[in-house]
Amino acid sequence: MRAWFRGFAVLAAVWSLVGAATAQTAPREPARPFVFTGIPDQDESRLVERFGRVAAYLEGKLGVPVRYIPVKNYPAAVTAFTNGQVQLAWFGGFTGVQARKAVPGSQAIAQGAEDAAFKTYFIANAATGLARAADFPKVIAGKTFTFGSRASTSGRLMPEHFIRQAFPGKTPEEVFARVGFSGDHSRTIQLVQSGAFEVGAVDYTVWDLDTKAGKVDPKTVSVIWESPAYPDYQWTVRGDLDAVYGTGFTERLKAALVGITDPAILEPFGRSKFIPVTSEAYVPLIEVGRSTGLLD
Cα–Cα distance, 91 to 93 (Å, whole number): 6
The more confidently predicted of residues 194 and 12 is 194
80 and 134, same structural domain? no
User: Is the pLDDT at 140 greater than 70, yes or no?
Assistant: yes
Tally of structural domains, the chain? 2
User: Is the pLDDT at 21 greater than 50, yes or no?
Assistant: no
139 and 177, same structural domain? yes
128 and 79, same structural domain? no
Cα angle for residues 77, 230, 139 (degrees, 5° grid): 100
User: Is the pLDDT at 119 greater than 80, yes or no?
Assistant: yes
Domain end point (choices 178, 197, 226): 226
Q: What is the pTM of this model?
A: 0.85
The lowest-confidence range among 13-17, 31-35, 52-56 is 13-17
Domain end point (choices 206, 226, 246): 226
User: Is the pLDDT at 200 greater than 60, yes or no?
Assistant: yes
Domain end point (choices 178, 193, 226): 226
pLDDT of residue 51: 96
The lowest-confidence range among 35-39, 44-48, 100-104, 251-255 is 44-48
Phi, psi of 19 (to 5 degrees): -65, -40
141 and 210, same structural domain? yes
* CA–centroid distance for 133 within its chain: 30
Asked if residue 287 is part of any domain, the answer here is: yes
Q: What is the mean pLDDT of the chain?
A: 91
Let me know: does 123 contact 202? Beta carbons within 8 Å: yes
pLDDT of residue 43: 81
Tens digit of each residue's pLDDT (9 = 90 or more) over 2-15: 444 444 444 444 34
Cα–Cα distance, 80 to 195 (Å, whole number): 35
51 and 181, same structural domain? no
Mean pLDDT over residues 43-64, rounded? 93
190 and 238, same structural domain? no
274 and 178, same structural domain? no
User: Is the pLDDT at 1 greater than 60, yes or no?
Assistant: no
Mean pLDDT over residues 260-274, rounded? 96
123 and 264, same structural domain? no
69 and 93, same structural domain? yes
Asked if residue 4 is part of any domain, the answer here is: no
Supply the CATH number for residue 235's domain.
3.40.190.10
User: Is the pLDDT at 265 greater than 90, yes or no?
Assistant: yes
239 and 109, same structural domain? yes
Percent of the chain residues topping a pLDDT of 90: 84
Residue 163, CA atoms < 13 Å, CB-side half-sphere? 30
Longest Cα–Cα distance of the chain, Å, equals: 108
Tens digit of each residue's pLDDT (9 = 90 or more) over 143-154: 999 999 999 999
Asked if residue 259 is part of any domain, the answer here is: yes
Asked if residue 265 is part of any domain, the answer here is: yes
Asked if residue 198 is part of any domain, the answer here is: yes
The lowest-confidence range among 14-18, 129-133, 282-286 is 14-18
Mean pLDDT over residues 60-78, rounded? 96
Asked if residue 47 is part of any domain, the answer here is: yes
Asked if residue 153 is part of any domain, the answer here is: yes
User: Is the pLDDT at 116 greater than 80, yes or no?
Assistant: yes
pLDDT of residue 182: 97
45 and 176, same structural domain? no
164 and 184, same structural domain? yes
The more confidently predicted of residues 11 and 229 is 229
The more confidently predicted of residues 42 and 101 is 101
Asked if residue 189 is part of any domain, the answer here is: yes
Provide the residue range defining the domain that includes 277: 34-116+231-291
Mean pLDDT over residues 92-116, rounded? 97
The lowest-confidence range among 21-25, 42-46, 96-100 is 21-25
